Amino acid sequence: MDTLFSLKVFRQVVECGSFTKAADKLNISNAMASKYVSHLEKSIGAKLLMRNSRSLHLTEAGSQYYRESSYALDMLDNAAEKAAGGREVPQGELKITAPLWFANDFFAAYLCEYSERYPDVSLNITLENKLSNLIAEGYDLALRVSREPNPSLIVRKLGEVHFYMVASAAYAGRYGLPEDTADLAQHRLVLPAYTAALDVLEDEAGRQVPYPMSHVMRSNNSIMIHSLIRSGAGIGFMPEWLARGSLADGSLHRVLPQYRHKGVTLYAAYTDRAYLTAKVRSFIDFIAEKSRQYIGSDTEAV
C-alpha cells in the first residue's frame, strides 16, 4: 500500500476524529481508511490509535507521530507548491551552455536586459564549443548553432547566424583588400575549424560563388580567431554577432561585402517539453524576440 497516502489518511482520521468522516473527505471507503492506518502501524511497528465502536484517541506514540508526520506532509505540500510555481513564474538558477563566440558585448547586453526583466532568475552560463550532454551535466538549456540538431533533443529555431569576412585596418594597409573572390588566393586566411560551411559565398541574388580556401591559421576557438584577425594575421571569418562591435569601432573592416556566407541556424535545445519551467521558457522567448529584431527568424519548436 502507498505509505505516503497512508500518512494522509492517518492525519485526516485524527483531524476529523472519525474514520467515516475521513473516508468521506478522501473519497475512499471506511474499510480502506482502516486498512491504510493499519498498514502505517505495521510499517512503523507501533500502535497509533486506540479505537472502539464509540471513540478513538491517539496513543502516546501516535500523538508524537501525528505532530512530526503532519510537519513532514506540510513540507511536502510546500515543496510541491514551489515546484509548480517554478513552472509559472521565472525563478531560480538557469544553467545554460552556449558556443564560445557568445562571449561578446552584443550578447552580454542581451543577458543584462534579460536579468533586469526577470530579476528572480540567476544565470549560470558555460561557454564551450563541444556538445554537452544536457541531462548528465545538469544544463537546463543549450544554445547551439547547427545544420542538423540532435534528434534526441527538443529544439526551437531562433534565427540564422551569418559569418562575415573581415580584416583589420593594419592588414588592409599592408596587403590591401581583395576586390573579388579570385583575389583571395593571394591573401592570408584565418579560418575557424568548427564549421565546414565557409567554402561557398552567396552573391546578392543568392547564387553560390566558390573561392580558394588556403589558410595560414585555423582554430576551433572563435575568440582566438577574433584576436588573430584583429592582430593582422589575415582575412578571416567570424560570426556576425562577434564581429559587430569591432566593425562598429573601425578596428575591423568587411571584406567583399557584396558577398555573404549562407547562415547556420541558431537553436535553443532542451530535453523535456512537458515540464518546461518558466525560467527556461522565458529565456527561449526572450532570445527569440531578440533574434527577430536583429537577425530575422522563424521561431518554431521541432
CA 221 centroid distance within chain: 22
Which pLDDT score, from 0 to 100, does residue 139 have?
Answer: 87
Report the range of poorest mean pLDDT among 101-105, 144-148, 292-296.
Answer: 292-296
- Determine contact, residues 238/164, Cβ cutoff 8 Å: yes
Query: Residue 301 above 70 pLDDT?
Result: no
Q: Please state the φ and ψ torsions of residue 243, each to the nearest 5 degrees.
A: -80, -20
Buried/exposed 221-231: b ≥16 CB within 10 Å, e otherwise: ebeebbebbbe
- Dihedral Cα 9, 11, 15, 18, nearest 10 deg: 40
In the prediction, which pLDDT does 32 show? Answer: 93
Q: With helix as H, strand as E and coil as C, how does the chain read?
A: CCHHHHHHHHHHHHHHCCHHHHHHHHCCCHHHHHHHHHHHHHHHCCCCEEECCCCEEECHHHHHHHHHHHHHHHHHHHHHHHHHHHCCCCCEEEEEEECHHHCCHHHHHHHHHHHHHCCCEEEEEEECCCCCCCCCCCCCEEEEEECCCCCCCEEEEEEEECEEEEEEHHHHHHHCCCCCHHHHHHCCEEEECCCCCCCEEECCCCCEEECCCCCCEEECCHHHHHHHHHCCCCEEEEEHHHHHHHHHCCCEEECCCCCEECCEEEEEEECCCCCCCHHHHHHHHHHHHHHHHHCCCCCCEC
Residue 251 pLDDT greater than 60, yes or no: yes
Banded model confidence at residue 118, pLDDT cuts 50, 70, 90: very high
Cα 146–chain centre separation: 16
- Checking if the pLDDT of 252 tops 70, the result is yes
Q: What is the pLDDT of residue 296?
A: 43
Mean pLDDT over residues 9-18, rounded? 89
Say whether pLDDT at 96 is over 90: yes
Instruction: State yes or no: pLDDT of 6 exceeds 70.
Output: yes
Average pLDDT over residues 65-70: 86
192 touches 142 (CB < 8 A): no
pTM score: 0.61
Between 143 and 273, the higher pLDDT residue:
143
Q: Is the pLDDT of residue 64 over 80?
A: yes
For residue 253, the model assigns a pLDDT of 92
CB 123 within 8 A of CB 114: yes
Q: Which range (59-68, 194-203, 208-217) has the least confidence?
A: 194-203
For residue 12, pLDDT beyond 70: yes
Give 152-172 pLDDT, tens digit per residue.
678 888 887 778 889 999 999
User: pLDDT > 70: what percent of the chain?
Assistant: 86
DSSP strand pairing (264-270 vs 141-146)? antiparallel
pLDDT of residue 124: 94
Query: Are 171 and 178 contacting, i.e. CB atoms less than 8 angstroms apart?
Result: no
Question: Hey, what's the cell of 58?
Answer: 491517539
d(CA 287, CA 267) in angstroms, rounded, equals 10
Q: What is the pLDDT of residue 95?
A: 93
283 pLDDT band (50/70/90 cuts)? Answer: very high
Taking the C-alpha atoms of residue 156 and residue 291, their distance in angstroms, rounded to an integer, is 12
